[in-house]
């Protein structure tokens, strides 16, 4: 039984042409409709779960010396930080020293952000690997981590009366730092922010010493009650109450983040083409809101928590008591592995295959993953992880938190949150192989769990 690689390639090409699909933007809404159209063409009914968010659109951005008018090179805006009028905001610079600093009032606060390196075991607990010679790096350095940790300092600047913030990336190449949609776990901050590279640190220091003002211009709009939706496809099994929940999210800035929908479409096409029947009921969940988690998730959890709540309420209204057999999550397939050399200022390709991390919540699921890996023999390195409720990357976390036994695929390439470039284009053959592995796990789980 083979998956249809031609259809996968075609659908991935359409995703690529659509461009960035951040939550509830026009591109995102178009992509959701595209995925639903393909599912309808395959003959599967769709159950919709619409909701609304407040959307922040930053149209353009510029940072300049307010006296000379000279532009200061930037890397991109801080998403959902804030907007300005067409005239922008201006003020002298104040370098961040402490959480409570009244001298930030009326100024633009400059915050240093180190792309810190952490021991891998603090973030990931490896329990198995494939193949046998796979090696998990001792340390992990990913811009997602440092960018998330800086949110408290941004909030402190706002609380102290700053009019804007400048975040200065250190220990990262400009190539990796540019056009990052980071951080993305915040709601609307109410203070406009911009990223610059450490190459501009001396410029900012000189401006501060000269007591010159800086102007940040970031016009845009803050729009309320913008519609978006998550949705589900239900394939009835012989036992309606026993369910396998397969999920991904539909929003993202590039072609890897998020291409899980293409993998799920490919699996759904195989189910139709081969007239497959299942012992368990399959639920394919397509989540919106991963790039606006505070507005989409429940109580600060990942966005799939909303879809699970709404889906389970719908099932309860039909007197269906769900027995949770497996939660199978699919994210970020086909990425390449890059190494960022901050000292040399270069981002270098290390391998065509970025490591794939697989959370597996119990022994049965761990054995299932291992057996399917040996059957499929995928390229690259795969690391099976023990889930932690407090440290569980991706949209598999809400399933685990809600008591589903889980198997969650999540790649973490360095450029995961950047706008599209050659670095964010998936290797379609690797994406196909990984989807085949996931399909194999799904089929085996239906028979064995």
**Which pair of structure tokens corresponds to residue 231?**
């949705």
161: number of Cβ within 10 Å: 15
**380 CA to centre of own chain:** 21
Residue 27 — very low, low, confident or very high, per pLDDT cuts 50/70/90? very high
Grade residue 345 by pLDDT with cuts at 50, 70 and 90.
confident
pTM greater than the 0.85 cutoff: yes
Report the mean per-residue pLDDT for the chain: 96
Residue 388: predicted pLDDT: 83
Once rounded to an integer, what is the mean pLDDT over residues 97-120?
A: 96
Q: What is the mean pLDDT of residues 310-321?
A: 92
User: What is the reported pLDDT for 218?
Assistant: 98
Over residues 379-401, the pLDDT tens digits come to 999 999 999 877 899 999 999 99
| pLDDT at res. 60 | 97
- In sign, the C-alpha dihedral spanning 63, 251, 6, 437 is positive
Percent with pLDDT over 90 in the chain:
95
Distance from C-alpha of 381 to C-alpha of 314, rounded to nearest angstrom: 39
CA nearest to 56, candidates 191, 159, 257: 191
Domains and CATH numbers, the chain: 5-55+224-448 (3.40.630.10), 60-124+139-218 (3.50.30.30)
CA distance 441 to 364: 12
> CA-CA distance, 151 to 174, in Å (whole number)?
21
pLDDT tens, residue by residue, 114-155: 999 999 988 999 999 999 999 999 999 999 999 999 999 999
pLDDT tens sequence across 187-216? 999 999 999 999 999 999 999 999 999 999
- Mind listing the pLDDT tens digit for each residue in 387-436? 987 789 999 999 999 999 999 999 999 999 999 999 999 999 999 999 99
**Each residue's pLDDT tens digit, 153-194:** 999 999 999 999 999 999 999 999 999 999 999 999 999 999
Q: Which of 235-239, 313-317, 389-393 has the lowest mean pLDDT?
A: 389-393
pLDDT of residue 170: 97
Q: Could you tell me the pLDDT band of residue 445, with boundaries at 50, 70 and 90?
A: very high
pLDDT in tens, 70-92: 999 999 999 999 999 999 999 99
Instruction: Please tell me the predicted confidence (pLDDT) of residue 320.
Output: 86
Question: What is the rounded distance in angstroms from the CA atom of residue 123 to the CA atom of residue 125?
Answer: 7
Separation of alpha carbons 305 and 55, rounded Å: 20
Q: At 369, phi and psi to the nearest 5?
A: -60, -45
| pLDDT for res 205 | 97
């Amino acid at each position: 039984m083979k998956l249809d690689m031609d259809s996968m390639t075609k659908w991935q090409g359409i995703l690529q042409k659509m461009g960035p699909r951040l939550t509830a933007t026009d591109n995102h809404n178009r992509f959701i409709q595209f995925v639903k159209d393909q599912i309808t063409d395959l003959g599967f009914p769709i159950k919709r779960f619409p909701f609304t968010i407040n959307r922040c659109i930053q149209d353009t951005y510029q940072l300049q010396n307010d006296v000379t008018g000279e532009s200061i090179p930037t890397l991109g805006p801080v998403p959902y930080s804030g907007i300005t009028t067409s005239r922008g905001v201006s003020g002298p610079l104040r370098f961040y020293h402490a959480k409570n600093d009244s001298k930030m009032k009326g100024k633009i606060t400059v915050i240093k952000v180190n792309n810190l390196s952490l021991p891998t075991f603090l973030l990931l607990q490896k329990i198995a690997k494939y193949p046998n010679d796979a090696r998990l790096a001792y340390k992990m350095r990913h811009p997602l981590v440092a960018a998330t940790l800086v949110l408290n300092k941004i909030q402190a600047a706002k609380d102290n009366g700053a009019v804007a913030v400048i975040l200065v990336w250190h220990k990262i190449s400009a190539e990796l730092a540019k056009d990052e949609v980071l951080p993305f776990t915040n709601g609307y901050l109410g203070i406009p922010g911009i990223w610059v590279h450490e190459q501009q640190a001396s410029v900012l220091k000189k401006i501060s010493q000269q007591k010159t003002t800086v102007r940040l211009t970031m016009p845009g709009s803050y729009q309320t009650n913008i519609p978006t939706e998550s949705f589900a496809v239900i394939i009835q099994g012989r036992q309606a109450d026993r369910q396998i929940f397969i999920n991904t999210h539909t929003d993202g800035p590039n072609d890897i983040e998020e291409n899980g929908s293409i993998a799920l479409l490919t699996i759904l096409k195989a189910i139709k083409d081969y007239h497959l029947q299942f012992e368990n009921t399959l639920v394919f969940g397509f989540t919106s809101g991963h790039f606006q988690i505070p507005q989409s998730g429940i109580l600060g959890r990942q966005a799939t928590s909303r879809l699970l709540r709404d889906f389970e309420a719908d099932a309860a209204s039909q007197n269906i008591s769900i027995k949770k057999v497996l939660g199978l999550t699919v994210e970020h397939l086909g990425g390449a592995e890059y190494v960022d050399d901050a000292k040399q200022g270069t981002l270098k390709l290390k391998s065509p295959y970025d490591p794939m991390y697989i959370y597996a919540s119990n022994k049965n699921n761990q054995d299932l993953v291992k057996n399917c890996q040996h059957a499929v023999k995928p390229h690259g390195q795969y690391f099976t992880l023990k889930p932690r409720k407090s440290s569980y990357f991706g949209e598999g976390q809400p399933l685990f938190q809600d008591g589903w036994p889980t198997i969650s695929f999540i790649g973490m390439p360095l450029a995961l949150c950047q706008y599209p470039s050659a670095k964010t284009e998936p290797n379609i053959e690797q994406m196909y192989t990984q989807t085949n592995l996931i399909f194999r796990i799904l089929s085996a789980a239906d028979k064995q769990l």
